Amino acid sequence: MEIRDKIYVGGNWVHSEATTMLDVIDSNTEEVIGKVPDGTRADADAAVQAAVAAFPAWSSTPVAKRCELIRSLGDALAARTEEIALTISKEVGMPISLSGGIQVGLPVGAFLDVAQHAVEVHWEQEVGNSLIVREPVGVVGAITPWNYPLYQIVLKIAPAIAAGCTVVLKPSEIAPLNAFALAEIVDEVGLPPGVFNLVSGVGAVIGEAIAAHQDVDMVSFTGSTRAGKRVMQLAAETVKRVALELGGKSANVILFDADLNAAIPAGVFACFLNSGQTCSALTRMIVPRSRLAEVEEQVVAAAVGFAPGNSLEPTTTLGPLVSSVQRDRVRNYIQKGIDEGAKLLTGGVDPPEGLEKGYFVRPTVFSGVTQSMTIAREEIFGPVLSILAYDTEEEAVEIANDSVYGLAGGVWGGDANHAEQIARRLRTGQVDVNGGAFNPRAPFGGYKQSGFGRERGTFGLEEFLETKSLQR
């Protein structure tokens, strides 16, 4: 068992004021695999004060030196890929065959990318008789989720420290062990004391303390829309900057002339990746009614390939969900889909055969879903796909945009130019056209109740900068 009885504040591992510890559970076995401090508001305040003290020196450190340290963080993280991937597969349930490349590889890449992007920022420029200067926003509170825990941490702390900010991190209490491993790396690499601080605990205590703290200049939050609204409320009291990456109910529009042999397997994968525990998962497949029977047949065939299993087995393609709460929540949504009259094509509420222990859910597909159904409107965060039929392209676009969310989307069509025109009409932060490849330099973030602000590339770094003009 991994016992983490200290938090990382001011460049040191220090005892928390906590009197209790939080259990970390293996999602495959439901066994306790670790413990971390159930941090207090005093812990959060100590971390903020350490960040405040470190800010003047760090913000004046040359960009090249900051980037050198960031590259070192990426290299050191890469050296521990196997160990950390195993930890995250236990915490979250992503299959071990994917965790190395996704749960650790993406964070490594994010560190290295930020080091490159920082030199591309126009730190100073002349506009008439003014010198425009870009400066770090200050102390940043980073509050991160459990589904891609390390990646979401690095997407915040890497650009923040590259910009010259100092950081207080509150990782998810459900999947915190990877964050402690990162803090060890920070310590080993020699990031100056107070530039990065880690306080574990629950959102209602540590998260709220960070969001409300008068000495925190910005909060970057990834999580549910409900929690994001609370962060905004608390941050408003001190008028601090907020960046939010929240929920999604993303649409995958299959046009009349789409190649179903390519679109359907890709669409199912985009829904079921990480057991559906992905904010940008394409959970609504919007298809021509004239091709509905063909789509249903191919979707079921593709879904069969996602057989649930222990995330540590190399052949597993669909691991467990992260917790009992999440498992029960997803099963409740499946039951609601059945109760509201959707057509269950495969899956269901019963546990997968032979996997009664662990947080497993059967990969589930519904057809005959209408826009008013709960499973078409609310974020499920599990391996549940809803198929909605349309008669015209106008109707397809209307269905896709009929959501309070706007995080991601997809469009598949035989004519790439036409598919792109449809993609432009979707009110969402990113759209994959005909399975367009993941681009880590492209901005990621949402419209509507999926939040605001962007992560990745130069776009993500600029979130952590202020703009000053000097008239001469």
The two tokens of residue 305 are 């390939």
Q: Which of 50, 81, 79, 224 lies closest to 150 in space, CA to CA?
A: 81
3-state secondary structure at position 417: helix
Look-up: residue for tokens 């900051």?
A: 66
152, 162 Cβ separation under 8 angstroms: no
**Judging by DSSP bridges, how do beta strands 451-452 and 241-245 pair with one another?**
antiparallel
CA dist list (Å): 306 to 274, 300, 309, 363, 364 = 11, 10, 9, 7, 10
Catalytic residue among 271, 279, 296, 463: 279
Extract the runs of DSSP E, i.e. beta strands, from 147-257: 166-170, 196-198, 218-222, 241-245, 251-254
Catalytic residue among 173, 208, 245, 462: 245
**Judging by DSSP bridges, how do beta strands 32-37 and 2-3 pair with one another?**
parallel
Q: Which stretch of DSSP H or E encloses residue 299?
A: helix 292-304
The two tokens of residue 374 are 């709960």
Could you tell me the strand order of the sheet in which 32-37 lies? 2-3, 32-37, 21-25
* Residues whose CB is less than 8 angstroms from the CB of residue 164 and which lie 6 or more positions away in sequence, other chains included: 58, 59, 60, 61, 63, 66, 135, 136
Look-up: residue for tokens 């800010």?
A: 55
- Alpha-helix runs per DSSP H in 317-465: 324-339, 374-377, 393-401, 416-424, 457-462
- Alpha-helix runs per DSSP H in 80-224: 81-92, 96-99, 105-117, 149-163, 177-189, 208-212
Report the b/e string of 8-29 with b at 16+ CB within 10 A.
Answer: bbbbeeeebbbeebbebbbbbe
Q: Which stretch of DSSP H or E encloses residue 132?
A: strand 130-136
Q: Give the amino acid at 128.
A: G
Q: Which of 358, 314, 355 lies closest to 96 in space, CA to CA?
A: 314
In sequence order, what are the beta bridge partners of 125?
132
- Residue 279 a catalytic site member: yes
Q: Which stretch of DSSP H or E encloses residue 206?
A: none
Cα separation, 19 vs 5, in Å, equals 11
Residues labelled as active-site residues: 245, 279
